[in-house]
Amino acid sequence: MANILIIGACGQIGTELTKKLRAVYGTNAVIASDVRKGDPDFVASGPFEVVNALDYNQVEHVIEKYNVEDVYLMAALLSATAEKNPAFAWDLNMNSLFHVLNLAKGGKIKKIFWPSSIAVFGPTTPKQNTPQYTIMEPSTVYGISKQSGERWCEYYHNIYGVDVRSIRYPGLISWSTPPGGGTTDYAVDIYHKALENGSYTCFLSEETRLPMMYMDDAIRATVEIMQAPAESISIRSSYNLSAMDFTPAEVAEAIQREIPDFTIGYEPDFRQKIADSWPQSIDDSSARADWGWQHEFNLESMTKDMLIHLESLKHEN
Ligand code: NAD
């Protein structure tokens, strides 16, 4: 039987994606892998392998061992962390991608999912309703690696026929797994702190507007783009994807509607500059037309869902 491999499965997205793919395709059909062992319950919840995405032979070995057809490559250094270690970020983000693209080119796997990001855009990109095709001059190491990755994905599709599919995720918000060092991490933290101490100090300024998405929507988009017939995927670089956009002040107001005493302060740090270089809202009409993308969550429904889940986690612990 053909199986699925997730590389970087212990991260913010990988954990949720593993659970979802196992619910859809069966536990034993989805092999979770990461360079580290994450939460013990997660590692014990199905097939798990320690794999370094930078080691071609290790990746190839796991693919052969489990008869893997589809690979979801989630390992990467994210925006804020990448700025602190540019050379390693370039190495990890590019070479892990080349390994899976080359495995597909050599016929060892059939389909790849590789996430891109709104970080592919830069200060010269139109900020509102950023189009699918527009000026792209990313100014962060992370953005440069994602834009280069997109170019290589399209190249491997055009020249070698590799079936690679990709989404430019906006900032992702989830209650069950912590974020991994991105510029939009505040939008997760703020909910935790609202329940823990009723106040939050934000590392971005109050009017910083960014595109965001609830994890449930991002995971569903990932599954849907991979299930879509190959003919409907007209873009082989990466699709713009959108659900909502908001500022820290607007999330604070949404939280105050549920927790009236909640207060917020602002102390912008180095991440402000990264955020200022990114779009404020995204035009995702190509994803909607090509493979039927539709978001479900907006700021209000996400806020209610986040607080309900975090509250019940508090009572469990
Ligand atoms: P994360 O940092 O939470 O998780 C990444 C995982 O990769 C970690 O578990 C880490 O241990 C693992 N990893 C690191 N180096 C590895 C290696 N050499 N071999 C194997 N595993 C390794 O990141 P995430 O938020 O889950 O992001 C996953 C992907 O989605 C990344 O490509 C990221 O750029 C992209 N993305 C994320 C967001 C977001 O808001 N979370 C937004 C846009 C794009």
What is the per-residue DSSP string for 213-227?
Answer: EEHHHHHHHHHHHHH
Q: Is there a single domain that holds both residue 162 and residue 187?
A: no
Q: Which two tokens stand for residue 35?
A: 């360079």
Which of helix, strand or coil describes residue 20? helix
Q: What is the pLDDT along the chain (317 residues), one digit of tens a residue?
A: 679 999 999 999 999 999 999 999 999 999 999 999 989 999 999 999 999 999 999 999 999 999 999 999 999 999 899 999 999 999 999 999 999 999 999 999 999 999 999 999 999 999 999 999 999 999 999 999 999 999 999 999 999 999 999 999 999 999 998 888 899 999 999 999 999 999 999 999 999 999 999 999 999 999 999 999 999 999 999 999 999 999 999 999 999 999 999 999 999 999 999 999 999 999 999 999 999 999 999 999 999 999 999 999 888 87
Instruction: Tell me, yes or no, whether 224 and 289 share the same domain.
Output: no
171 in ligand 1 pocket by Cβ < 6 Å? yes
CB 241 within 8 A of CB 167: yes
At 178 the pLDDT is: 84
Identify which of 56, 74, 142, 242 to mutate to test ligand 1's pocket (most ligand atoms within 8 A of the CB).
Answer: 74
Cβ of 117 below 6 Å from ligand 1? yes
The count of domains in the chain is 2
Q: Which domain holds residue 110?
A: 3-171+214-240
Would you state the pLDDT for residue 239? 98
Q: Are residues 309 and 199 in the same domain?
A: yes
Which candidate, 64, 63, 85, places its Cα nearest to that of 76?
A: 85
Q: Are 100 and 220 members of one domain? A: yes
**Statement to judge: residues 183 and 71 lie in one domain:** no
Q: Which residues pair with 173 in a beta bridge?
A: 214
Domain of residue 127, CATH code:
3.40.50.720
Give the other-Cβ count within 10 Å of 315's Cβ.
6
| 69 plus 15 within the same structural domain | yes
Judge if 189 and 132 occupy the same domain: no
Q: How far apart are CA 229 and CA 243, in angstroms?
A: 23
Phi/psi for 178 (5° steps) reads -75, 150
Whole-angstrom Cα distance, residue 64 to residue 49? 13
Record the tokens describing residue 30, joined without a space. 């989805």
pLDDT at 179: 86
State phi, psi for 101 to the nearest 5 degrees. -60, -40
Q: Are residues 178 and 279 in the same domain?
A: yes
* 259 pocket-lining for ligand 1 (C-beta < 6 Å): no
* Distance, CA of 77 to CA of 65 (rounded, Å): 27
Coil, strand, or helix at residue 86? helix
Cα 221 to Cα 299: distance, rounded to the nearest angstrom: 18
Residue 201's CATH number? 3.90.25.10
Rounded distance between C-alpha atoms, residue 93 and residue 299, angstroms: 31
143 shares its domain with 208: no
Domain boundary among 197, 223, 240: 240
